């Protein structure tokens, strides 16, 4: 099979490339990625040594380039990870989120219609369901939970999901969608909570916790997400949505304290700052469908996963030093410079 992984130079996409090269050595894996600030060829250095792997630089919203890639690579499967993925950036500048996440998805699906495809898989997110209240721990997101988005990012991802389902219903495109909870692990871009806190703590810099720090996220080790997508490709039913999560809910402040403990640093580094606008309170996935229908289970608890992730960042300083030495500094100064300390 020829499997095109869009956004494969980013965090989850790259982990998926490695997962597939290891677990499906008979398949060709083609990464198609625009290499935005979040895409990094250094992440794919090992993959480039594998004859089954190929990298193509390109934008999913560029129709001509996408059609050319389809003509040349003849994909059997598309797994679409390519996206603008950071909520804070979407609050500052929504437009590029619509361009990539919505228009880009529609171009990919048009290409699938034109050239034919065995499967188009859309990597979506639990954020399309909005949030849950903190005082109702009995509530979880199921595949039937209505879409109810909060940020321009989640609105763009929900729009893409609707479009994917419309192409399935109207044109019979063989699609599946997965909606996963928060991922963490190797190659996570340091603008996101866990890598940002690890790297700041390693530099004895303040750890900016938004608001009261009681917001809850449902954390999943990235390799478990990759395994879930691979199972959906093999056994998932066309036209279906699958939620992915492992019931690993943690308050942000708990996660930050666990990182400090792992690094042997003191809690005085924590600084509560101005909250994110429209900040979702709690995400929590009900993974019953994927477990019962496809037999997927997560394998890594947050305790083990966070320890392994901290170790990975300790051992791969070259990888993240390169990233934080460039535009990231400007981003950090702009994004965090205007936040006020609230305790
Ligand atoms: P990321 O920001 O780390 O990587 C995104 C990748 O997409 C980068 O390599 C970037 O260069 C590429 N890209 C961006 N715009 C592109 C375009 N127009 N054309 C081609 N490539 C483009 O993102 P991530 O955290 O790895 O997330 C991957 C996918 O998983 C996204 O669709 C996201 O919505 C979804 N998701 C993420 C999480 C999470 O916790 N990170 C959880 C659930 C779902
Ligand atoms: O739930 C899946 C989503 O998880 C994905 O769809 C997104 O692409 C991914 O970025 C992630 O979104 P979040 O907004 O949950 O992740 P982030 O790492 O940005 O923030 C996690 C929590 O930590 C959130 O409640 C905000 C908080 N936070 C974040 C940062 C960057 C802080 O308190 N301080 C920070 O500096």
- Ligand 1 pocket residue status of 131, Cβ below 6 Å: no
pLDDT at 326: 83
Residue 89 Cα, ligand 2 centroid: separation in angstroms? 11
What kind of fold does domain 2-184+219-244 have according to CATH? Rossmann fold (3.40.50)
Burial 44-60 (b: 16+ CB within 10 A, else e): beebeeeeebbbbebbb
Distances in Å between the Cα of 263 and the Cα atoms of 202, 310, 313 are 7, 8, 11
Backbone torsions φ then ψ of 132, nearest 5 degrees:
-115, 155
pTM above threshold 0.95 = yes
Do the beta carbons of residue 100 and residue 92 sit within 8 Å? Answer: no
- Ligand 1 pocket residue status of 7, Cβ below 6 Å: yes
172 Cβ neighbours under 8 A, 6+ residues apart: none
Do the beta carbons of residue 89 and residue 38 sit within 8 Å? Answer: no
Q: What is the chain's alpha carbon radius of gyration, rounded to the nearest angstrom?
A: 19
Q: How wide is the angle at C-alpha 78 spanned by C-alphas 99 and 107, nearest 5°? A: 30
- Spell out the long-range contacts of 263-268 with Cβ–Cβ below 8 A and sequence spacing 24 or more: 263/198, 263/201, 263/202, 263/310, 265/201, 265/204
Q: Which residues of the chain have pLDDT under 50?
A: none
Please give the DSSP secondary-structure letter assigned to residue 282.
Answer: B
- Ligand 1 pocket residue status of 123, Cβ below 6 Å: yes
Do the beta carbons of residue 9 and residue 39 sit within 8 Å? Answer: yes
Residue 186 Cα, ligand 1 centroid: separation in angstroms? 14
pLDDT at 343: 66
Whether the CA torsion 41, 45, 48, 50 is positive or negative: it is negative
Q: Give the catalytic positions in this structure.
A: 126-127, 153
**Which protein residues touch ligand 2 with a CB less than 6 Å away?**
85-87, 125-127, 181-182, 192-193, 196, 208-210, 215, 217, 252, 276, 283
- Ligand 1 pocket residue status of 245, Cβ below 6 Å: no
Token pair listed for 38: 């979040």
Encode pLDDT of 22-38 as tens digits: 999 999 999 999 999 99
Do the beta carbons of residue 78 and residue 112 sit within 8 Å? Answer: yes
Instruction: Report how far residue 105's alpha carbon sits from residue 174's, in angstroms, rounded to the nearest whole number.
Output: 14
pLDDT at 118: 98
- Ligand 1 pocket residue status of 180, Cβ below 6 Å: yes
At residue 272, the 3 state secondary structure works out as strand
Encode pLDDT of 243-276 as tens digits: 999 999 999 999 999 999 999 999 999 999 999 9
Give the total residue count for the chain.
343
């Amino acid at each position: 099979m020829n499997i095109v992984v869009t956004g494969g130079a980013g965090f989850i996409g790259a982990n998926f490339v490695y997962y597939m090269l290891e677990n499906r050595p008979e398949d060709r894996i083609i990464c198609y990625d625009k290499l935005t600030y979040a895409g990094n060829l250094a992440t794919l250095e090992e993959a480039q040594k594998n004859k089954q792997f190929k990298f193509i630089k390109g934008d999913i919203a560029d129709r001509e380039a996408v059609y050319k890639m389809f003509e040349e690579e003849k994909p059997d499967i598309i797994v679409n990870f390519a996206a603008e993925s950071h909520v804070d950036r979407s609050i500052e500048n929504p437009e590029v989120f619509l361009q990539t996440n919505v228009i880009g998805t529609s171009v990919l699906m048009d290409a699938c219609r034109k050239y034919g495809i065995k499967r188009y898989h859309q990597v979506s997110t639990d954020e399309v369901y909005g949030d849950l209240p903190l005082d109702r721990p009995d509530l979880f997101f199921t595949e039937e939970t209505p879409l109810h988005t909060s940020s321009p990012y989640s609105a763009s991802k929900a729009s893409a999901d609707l479009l994917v389902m419309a192409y399935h219903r109207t044109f019979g495109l063989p699609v599946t969608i997965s909606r996963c909870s928060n991922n963490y692990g190797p190659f996570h871009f340091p603008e996101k909570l866990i890598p940002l806190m690890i790297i700041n703590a390693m530099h004895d810099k303040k750890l900016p916790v938004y608001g009261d720090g009681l917001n809850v996220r449902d954390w999943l080790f990235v390799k478990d997400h990759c395994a879930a997508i691979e199972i959906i490709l093999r056994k998932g039913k066309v036209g279906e949505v699958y939620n992915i999560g492992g019931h690993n809910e943690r308050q942000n402040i708990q996660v930050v304290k666990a990182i400090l403990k792992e690094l042997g640093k003191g809690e005085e580094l924590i600084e509560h700052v101005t909250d994110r606008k429209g900040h979702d309170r709690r995400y929590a996935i009900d993974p019953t469908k994927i477990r019962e229908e496809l037999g997927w289970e997560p394998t890594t608890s947050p305790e083990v996963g966070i320890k392994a992730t901290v170790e990975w960042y300790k051992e791969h300083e070259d990888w993240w030093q390169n990233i934080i030495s460039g535009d990231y500094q400007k981003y950090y100064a702009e994004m965090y410079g205007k936040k006020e300390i609230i305790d």
